[in-house]
Structures are given as structure tokens and as C-alpha cells.
Chains A and B, each alone.
Chain A
Amino acid sequence: MLNEPFSIGNSFIHRTDPRLRLISAFVYSIVVAVLYGFPSLIASVGFSFALVRVAGLNGKAVLKRLALINGFVLLFWLILPFTAGGNILYSLGPLNIYETGVFLALQITLKSNAIIMAFIALVSTMNFSTLGHALNSLRLPQKFVFLFVLTYRYIFVIEQEYKKIWRSIKVRGFFPKTTIHCYKTYAYMIGMIFVKASARADRVYRAMLCRGFDGSFYTLAEYPSSGKNRLFLCLIFFCTFSIIFLEIVFHG
């Protein structure tokens, strides 16, 4: 079933109004995405890390998610330093490592980690119905919210179907090899995942209909407008502006 390990908790961030968290994550990630200077980038990674700490999330689980993103980032490291051109930093036989390439790759690494950590701390700390509710109340079109939330919801279903099929393949002694049998098995598996996931999605949707679901989301969580919300907003804005300030001073 739905696995939202980060949504369970009672930290300062968990108790902050989800709308504020969404807006903050959105604004903050735009700011981080356009940074160039290393002082501001490092500061933003530090700030995002602090957010994860404040949310009191399981460090191991967060690292696991970051590893996933950094797998993609690794691709940049394999290409950019060797192809960017400009000043040569180091020569490795026939390969040249370029300064601009290394800087670019480093920037991408810092940016993506800062943004992902901020989203983990701010957005994945709410469960899916709260997220839907927050998006609704920010006056996003209902159809869009519905699409978004259910996509998010059913990704877990697909994962679960994958695990089920994979288990049944494994217990029957399957071992991946470069054979047509192996490719066929993979093809069947992928096909079956979608067939099964779609059938299950259908059933879950029917169950939701039976319980009066009409496209709107409600949440049981209470987010009274309190001083804490204002404190959160002040903190986020202070840090975002500090990062912008660093950027202007060192890279202006």
C-alpha cells in the first residue's frame, strides 16, 4: 500500500500549514535553480540539510532518495568535465579535464541536492490527501490537482505490482542472463505490471467512488494559523534572502 514514510511525524515542519510549505518549496527551488556562486550554493545545501534535520526524518531513508538523484547527476560528471572546453585542469592521457566542466557538474550536483532535500523536508512530509487539499486550496484547477495527486498515488501501486511479480519470478528460479528467455521474461513482466496496475487502480477508484469521492480532497490534519506558521515563513524568507545576498556579493 501507499508508502509515505516521511509524512509521519510531529516536527515543527510537519505541523506547519501545508500551503505555506508548498509555496516555500516552490519559491526556494526557483531561487536555488538560478544560483551560480559557490558560496550561495553551499549555503543553500546547508539550509536544505537543516530543513531535513528539523523535520526529524530518518537519515538513512533520506540518503537513499538522494542516492537515486545522484545517480542521474553522475551522468553529468561522466560527460561534462571532458567535453566543456576552455581551461584545461588536468590531462589524463588523451582525455582533458576542463575547469568549466567540473564547475558546471559541481553546480548541478549542489543545486539538485539542495532542491531535493528541501522538497523532502517540506513537501514529502505531508500525506497525499493533505497535498491534494493544499493544492486545491491554492486555487489550482481541480482537474490538474486530481491528475497530479492520483499519479503520485498510483506510482506506489505500480511499484507494488512490480515487487509482487518480481518475487514470483524469483521463487521460480529465474536468473537474468543474456538469453531470449530472459528478455521475454522482462517483457512479460513490464507488460503485466501495467495490466495489473491498471486493473488495481480501477478497483481502488471504484472503492473511492463508493465512499463518495467526488474529486475534492479533505484532510483531518489541523493547521491553525499560529505564530509558528509566521515563524516558519520568516525563517524561510530570511534564509532565501541570505542566499540571494551571498549570490549578489560573491557573484554579482
Chain B
Amino acid sequence: MGNSMTTDPIIHLNGIWYSYPGEQPVLKNLDFQVFKGDRIGLLAPNGSGKTTLFHVIMGLLPIAEGSIRIFGRKIESEKDFVWVRRKIGLLFQDADDQLFSPTVLDDVAFGPLNMGKSKKEALAVSRRVLSFLGLSSFEDRITFKLSGGEKKLVSLATILSMDPEVLLLDEPLNGLDNKTRTKLMDILKTIGVSYVVISHDIDFLIDATDSIYTLKDGRIEKDTTVYVHSHDHAHMMGHVPHQHE
């Protein structure tokens, strides 16, 4: 958790208003702060504006009112957001939206090349990220032929290759099997950057984040109290007496 006394927040939203054209506002006077080292979970119903919030931070949706400060810098123009996008990596909900190059290596190198890295540097950083994620053998795979889980991991690679300081993860576990889930959790734990993650999976949030927020009536509400409780669960051979880790 961050320490607001000594350091500035790395993401600082103040009084943000956003509404989609012709609709009621989704974000209403929203305040949000992320400090270095924060691991924040966002748990809120569908349509409450979580994805909108992420897109506002990245400058993909223009806000009607409010101020955005990233790493202490006031962000106003598109040019400022170009700078923001180098610092913050957004993992889209649908990996199909994120991958568009023919091969995995092309796609992972797309960001670094746009950032002005030379071909050699871009290749080096892409290969490093792929190997960190255990995807070294994927370099020449065709992106649209990957499985759902592989697509998600490659999407993560395309963001990590830009060396972001904060990650915004939009439902990263969606549609992943247990094995890929565990892999993604392990990656998040070892990655060492701050992140905000949207998820509907409370177990995951308890495990992977330090504080859980929710969005209500267009505003962020802190909900960090975790209540211990039990609930039913189902799996094969459940009738046989057994224990869980």
C-alpha cells in the first residue's frame, strides 16, 4: 500500500465526470488514487463503469470534467496521453482486440517500435518478455490461431514489452482454465509493478490484491474489509471425504 505522506500518487483522478453520448453519466465526480506498489482490485457489477474508468485513464474516452494527474504531471491533451500510454499498460478484456499482427513476435514488438526503439532493441525486449512469461516457443505462432488462454498471455506480453510502471487489467481471468489462471496469478505476484485489476472473482482478488474497491453510483468506494465465510462448492468426487489446501 502506498504512503500518501511522502510520495505523490502515480495515478490521481479528481472530480471525473464521464457519460457516453446521449446517456446518463457513468462516472460522477469520481476520485481515484493509485500509489506506487499498490495492488488494487475493482469489484463492481456489470455496467458500473469499471472499463470506462480504465479507458478514461488511458485517454481513450474524453472526460467532460475533472482533472487527471499521472506521476504528478497534469494530463490534458492527446499529446500528454501519448506519454501516459508509455507508463501505463492496459490489458483489454477481449484479447482479440489487442492482437492484430500476424505473428506473436510482431505483435509484442509493436509497442516498443512505436516508442522509438530500434529494431534490435525491440526484438531483444520482446524476446525477454516472452521468455519471462514462458512463451519463448511462441515467437512465430500466428496470433489468431492461439487458444484463448494463450491469447491472454500474449496480450500481457504485448503490454509488458513497453515496460509499464502500472498495469490496468480488465478482467484478466475471463475464460481462462485453472492452469492458465494459476500461471497468470504467479506472474502478477512476481511482476513487481503496481496494478489495478477488474475482476468478479473474489477469491482471486483476495489473493492477488491488497485492497478491494467498488464502483457505486459513478464513484469509487473503498471496501477493504474481508469477511471470512463459507460457501458451497462443487467438483468431481465431492462425495468422498476430502480436504482443500
Contacts and interface: CB of A to CB of B under 8 A. Distances in A.
29 contacts: A1-B143, A8-B142, A203-B92, A203-B94, A204-B97, A206-B55, A206-B60, A206-B92, A207-B98, A209-B59, A209-B60, A209-B85, A210-B89, A210-B159, A211-B110, A211-B111, A211-B158, A212-B82, A212-B85, A212-B114, A213-B110, A214-B82, A214-B114, A218-B110, A218-B114, A218-B119, A220-B105, A220-B119, A222-B119
Interface residues of B, number: 35
A208 B101 CA distance: 11
A129 interface: yes
Dominant SS among interface residues on chain B: helix
A179 interface: no
Contacts of B143: 1-2
A1 B100 contact: yes
Interface string B132-166: 00000000001110000000000000110010000
B144 A2 contact: yes
Given A127-B101, A203-B94, A204-B97, A211 B144 contact: no
Interface in B46-61: 55, 58-60
Given A211-B111, A212-B85, A212-B86, A220 B94 contact: no
A127 B115 CA distance: 21
A211 B114 contact: yes
Interface of B: 55, 58-60, 82, 85-86, 89-90, 92, 94, 96-102, 105-106, 109-111, 113-115, 119, 122-123, 142-144, 158-159, 162
A71 B60 CA distance: 43
Contacts of B99: 1
B94 A212 contact: no
Which of B59, B86, B98: most chain A Cβ within 10 A? B98
A236 to B, nearest CB: 26
Contacts of B109: 220
B102 A210 contact: no
A153 B58 contact: no
Interface in A189-221: 200, 203-204, 206-214, 216, 218, 220
A191 B82 CA distance: 34
A2 B144 CA distance: 7
Contacts of B100: 1-2, 153, 204, 207-208
Given A211-B162, A212-B162, A218-B114, A203 B97 contact: yes
